[in-house]
Each structure stands twice: as C-alpha cells, then as structure tokens.
C-alpha cells in the first residue's frame, strides 16, 4: 500500500487506528477453547468486529511463534483474511546482517504479504536496507518505544548532544523516504512524539501504547499529527480483550468505535 | 545446558565451534532439490557430518521463516535431531516489551527446546528479563556485531565517555549472571573482543564472523579466551556451503574439523 492510499483510507474512514492482534491463548474467551482452532476463530471475529473502525492491523509474531509450527499458519490465515483493504504490519522487531535481513524481508513481504515490518535499529544500515528494496513495502524502525526499558539505552545522551533515539531517527530517515519508512514512537511519552516530529516532519509514526499501557490519544495526536495525518495509533489489549465472555467481539467493536469517534474530530481539527 | 556442562564439552571435544545453520534454498546443492524436503535433508547431513567437531549449533530463524509455515516445522525437526548433546542457539535477535518477550521465550525455550536465544538490546531491561526466568536457558545479547552497520549506533560515543556497546555490556551483565547470559561480539573486530573481555571477564561470548565475514580465529581467541574458555566461535557459510556438489557434507566436515584442529592447540596454550 502506498502512502497516498493509506492517507485516503484515513480520511475516508475518519480513523488512524491500528488494531494489534496480540492473541494470547491464555486470554481469549473460555468458550472458544472448544473450537479446534481457537486463536484463528478469535482473530476472525475480532477482525469482523473492528474492520470498519481501523485502517491497519498489527499481528505481533511472538504470540503466534509461541504456538509452535501451527502458529505460523495462523498468522498467514489471519493476514489473508484481513485482505488488501487494511495496512498490515508484522510486529516482528527483526533485524540482522544484510544477507539475513533479506530473508526476513522475503518471509514477511512475499510469504505473508504484509505491508510493513517493525525492525530494531541496533545493527545499523545494512540490517535495514534489504527491507527497503521491496516496492510499496514499508520498514518501521524502533525509535522511542513505549516500555520502561526505553530509558536504558534509547535515552542515553551522546557526545554529539542528543539522545540515542534522536541519532536513530536522524540516520534512519536518510535510509528510507516517507513513502517507505515509518518510525515507532511510543504513546507513553508525548514529548518524545513532539520532538521526533520536528526531526521527521513527513514520516508516518506507528504509535503503540494507547490503552493498556496508558498513552493519551489526544496528547499524542496534538504532538504528532501532520498534513497527511502521519500517525497510526495502535491499541492491542484494550480492544481485543475488552471482554472475555461470549460477547467479546461486540465489546472489541465498541472500544474500536469509541477510539475512531475520538479520532474523527481530532482529524477535523487539523483540517483533515 | 549449564555453563559447567558446556565447558566440559569444550574441553573433551577440544572445540568451541558453533555451526550456523543458515540454510538457504538458493544455496544448497542442486541434487537435493529432488527430495521433497531438501532443507531438512541438507540440515540432517550437515549435522551428521559436523557433530563430532562442534559443541553448538545455531539455526538462524530468518532462513526458516522465509519458507513459510513449513519452515517452522523444519527448525523444530532440526533441533530435535541435534539433540541434547549440543548447545542449541536460536539466532532470532528478538526483543519486545515484557509481556511479548515472555511469549518469545516460551516459543524458543519450551516449544523448540533451544538452550539459548539471541536478543537485541535496544528496548532495554524489560525486553530481556523474561528470557532470564527459565532455568538452564540462556540469553545472548547483541553487544558489538560483525557487520558494517555496527558502526552506525553501537560505536557512538556517549557523554559518559564510552561507546554505546560498552554501556550495553555494562548494563546487561547486571541483568544476567555468567550462568545465564552471553554476549554477541563479532569476530571482525578483535580489539572490541579484547575490550569487552575486560568489562565482562566471566561471561561467554558468541563470536560470529569467522569464515565468510573474514574474522581471524587465532586473534579473537587470544583476545577473548578466559578460564572456562568463554568463547563459542560461529562459522556458518564457510562450513555449510564449503562445496555444493554431492560431497557437500564431507566438505563441511573437513572445514569444521580443520577449525576444531586449530582450536585444540589454542585451548592447550591457555591451559584448557
């Protein structure tokens, strides 16, 4: 999916919501465990219930890998079921030496038909470049994450008078244009969202941490929105585990709809 | 596997060699493509041929994920086939927020029965800790990697007068003892191996980059060896693609044996 197509979807759906499919066998409703393929059934119902309110889905590969070989098949079925109308992000946080990253790119872009993959920056340019060679596919670089460990290294001050995450942003936006590279910027630190927006005015940000992790939608929108929205705000647990009874899908739809309804006027306020 | 058990294996086999199973469908011998499960057949023959000369195997998950859902099954069969006499490293370079890293730990330690997994440090402590909760399992943190991109961030100078990789080493060895945490230190920079050895005298290092990437076995051994060896030196392409004809397994065995034969006197020289 191109940046223009993504922006068109955001405008027409009045939403920049991404639904995180962190489907955990220990957390899905008990009644589904009767079905042979409970994770897949759960995903299907969540997708049906939330499709209308979001522009993107983000399956986190860890949750599927933990299921063993069958898990990979469930990611594949889930992605096929979402289809081409949504932007699909493999939240995989990969990154390796060049020849290996090329294989990961093939796995996620060709085998699984994802639009984007999250990539950790620690190994530098040759670990990221192979992902950028696929037309209309995206790399999403971890810049400043939403977890407590973000303080351990990402915020360390460099001799060049900037924190590490700033060096990551400045270097990585030279590797990929706003048409092929996004940045992960956690919702739990709106000041960092604002700061990174000054460094990367045109790149999209994937913003996790709204919901279970406590990020504030309005604050991060004001801090990060740009002329083509430039934000994909992700909520995972707050949506998919909104309820764990038989009406879990309706409950998920209600949370997603509520987020979309908050996003609509925020877009309008910014002339979008 | 415990550190003591690993050290015993190194002493008795006169080897600290790790064989990297980066099995690429485009590089395996043409005659294998006739078999329905060529990657698995290739791995089996490589393992049979090299078992005697190495103490560890390191399948790189990218190569299997690129095969789609079947790939995960091949990793599993490969790991089962290697068995408990070798230290098995999932070269996966994972790392995510705490609840997600826990799932990766389950995938690699419980589902796949690996001894160790490589982890990227960028997301900090809570992304690493869940891997350390599994007894006799290991986390291997990327400290200074063997690729050209290592210069992009790992070597950046911090205000605290050290390069980033040094901060990663100092912090991560507080998270995990030498009985549960290793460090990735690339073979292509023996000076970094020596420097990191002064910072982490007791931790094992996983040293990739010997062979195809040009690292020098003797130089890195002198730089990094300690009283319990403290080194697992990995070669992947140089061993598994030593020849691509019908005798590929014998050729792989010869390269692995040659490396073991170089390691034996290096161990003796250090009283091991």
Count of CA atoms in the C-beta half-sphere (13 A) of A215 = 31
pLDDT at A174: 98
pLDDT at B70: 87
Residue B244 CA to residue B252 CA, distance in Å, equals 10
How do residues B29-75 score in pLDDT, each as one tens digit? 998 886 668 999 999 999 999 999 999 999 999 999 888 888 889 99
* Chain A interface includes B163 (CB < 8 A): no
Q: Is the pLDDT of residue B212 over 90?
A: no
CB pairs under 8 A between A and B: 198
pTM of this structure: 0.96
How do residues B233-263 score in pLDDT, each as one tens digit? 999 999 999 999 999 999 999 999 999 999 9
Q: Is the pLDDT of residue A67 over 90?
A: no
- Within B3-115, where are the H helices? 3-13, 38-50, 61-65, 69-82, 98-105
Q: Provide the percentage of residues in chain B whose pLDDT is more than 90.
A: 88
pLDDT at B69: 82
* Chain B interface includes A93 (CB < 8 A): yes
In the stretch 177-236 of chain A, residues with CB closer than 8 A to chain B read: 213
Cβ–Cβ below 8 Å for B100 and A60: yes
How do residues A91-107 score in pLDDT, each as one tens digit? 999 999 988 999 999 99
- Relative to beta strand A17-21, strand B116-119 is unpaired
Top pLDDT among B211 and B118 is at B118
pLDDT at A36: 64
Annotated catalytic residue: which of A44, A93, A129, A170? A93
Cβ–Cβ below 8 Å for A69 and B65: no
pLDDT at A260: 97
* Chain A interface includes B78 (CB < 8 A): no
Q: Provide the percentage of residues in chain A whose pLDDT is more than 90.
A: 88
Residue A167 CA to residue A77 CA, distance in Å, equals 38
Residue B9 CA to residue B14 CA, distance in Å, equals 8
Give me the residue from B65, B66, B153 closest to A167, CB to CB.
Answer: B153
Q: Which residue of A lies nearest to B102 if distances are taken between CA atoms?
A: A62
**Mean of per-residue pLDDT scores for chain A:** 95
Lowest mean pLDDT among A106-110, A197-201, B153-157: A106-110
Cβ–Cβ below 8 Å for A123 and B103: no
How do residues A108-167 score in pLDDT, each as one tens digit? 999 899 999 999 999 999 999 999 999 999 999 999 998 999 999 999 999 999 999 999
Cβ–Cβ below 8 Å for A123 and B120: yes
pLDDT at B68: 82
How do residues A227-247 score in pLDDT, each as one tens digit? 999 999 999 999 999 999 999
pLDDT at A215: 81
Q: Which residue of A lies nearest to B61 if distances are taken between CA atoms?
A: A104
Mean pLDDT, residues A203-222 taken together: 90
How do residues A22-49 score in pLDDT, each as one tens digit? 999 889 999 988 666 899 999 999 999 9
Q: Residue B56: phi, psi to the nearest 5?
A: -145, 155
Cβ–Cβ below 8 Å for A72 and B72: yes
Q: Provide the percentage of residues in chain A whose pLDDT is more than 70.
A: 99
ipTM of the complex in this document: 0.94
Residue count of chain A: 272
Cβ–Cβ below 8 Å for A124 and B167: no
Active site includes B4? no
Q: Which residues of B touch A65 (CB under 8 A)?
A: 72, 103-104, 107-108, 111
Give me the residue from B120, B154, B157 closest to A158, CB to CB.
Answer: B157
Six-digit token pair at A233? Answer: 């705000």
* Chain B interface includes A26 (CB < 8 A): no
Q: Which residue of B lies nearest to A91 if distances are taken between CA atoms?
A: B96
Residue B119 CA to residue B12 CA, distance in Å, equals 29
Mean pLDDT, residues A177-183 taken together: 98
Q: Which residue of B lies nearest to A150 if distances are taken between CA atoms?
A: B123
Phi and psi based region of residue A19 (left: phi greater than 0; alpha: psi -120 to 50; beta: remaining): beta
């Amino acid at each position: 999916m191109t940046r223009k197509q993504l922006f068109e979807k955001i405008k027409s759906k009045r939403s920049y919501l991404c639904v995180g499919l962190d489907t955990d066998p220990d957390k899905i409703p008990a009644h589904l465990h009767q079905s042979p393929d409970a994770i897949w059934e759960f995903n299907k119902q969540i997708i049906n219930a939330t499709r209308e309110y979001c522009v993107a889905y983000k399956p986190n590969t860890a949750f599927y890998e933990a299921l063993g070989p069958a898990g990979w098949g469930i990611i594949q079925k889930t992605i096929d079921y979402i289809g081409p109308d949504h932007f699909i992000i493999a939240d995989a946080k990969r990154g390796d030496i060049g020849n290996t990253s090329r294989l990961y790119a093939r796995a996620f872009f060709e085998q699984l038909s994802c639009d984007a993959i999250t990539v950790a920056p620690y190994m530098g340019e040759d670990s990221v470049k192979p992902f950028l060679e696929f037309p209309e596919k995206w790399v999403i670089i971890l810049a400043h994450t939403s977890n407590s460990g973000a303080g351990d290294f990402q915020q360390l001050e460099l001799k060049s008078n900037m924190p590490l995450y700033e060096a990551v942003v400045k270097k990585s936006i030279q590797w990929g244009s706003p048409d092929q590279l996004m940045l992960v910027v956690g919702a739990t630190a709106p000041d960092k969202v604002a700061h990174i927006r000054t460094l990367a005015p045109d790149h999209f940000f994937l913003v996790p941490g709204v919901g279970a992790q406590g990020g504030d939608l309005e604050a991060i929108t004001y801090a990060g929105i740009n002329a083509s929205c430039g934000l994909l705000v992700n909520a995972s647990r707050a949506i998919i585990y909104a309820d764990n009874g038989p009406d879990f899908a309706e409950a998920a739809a209600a949370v997603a709809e509520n987020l979309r309804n908050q996003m609509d006027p925020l877009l309008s306020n910014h002339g979008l």
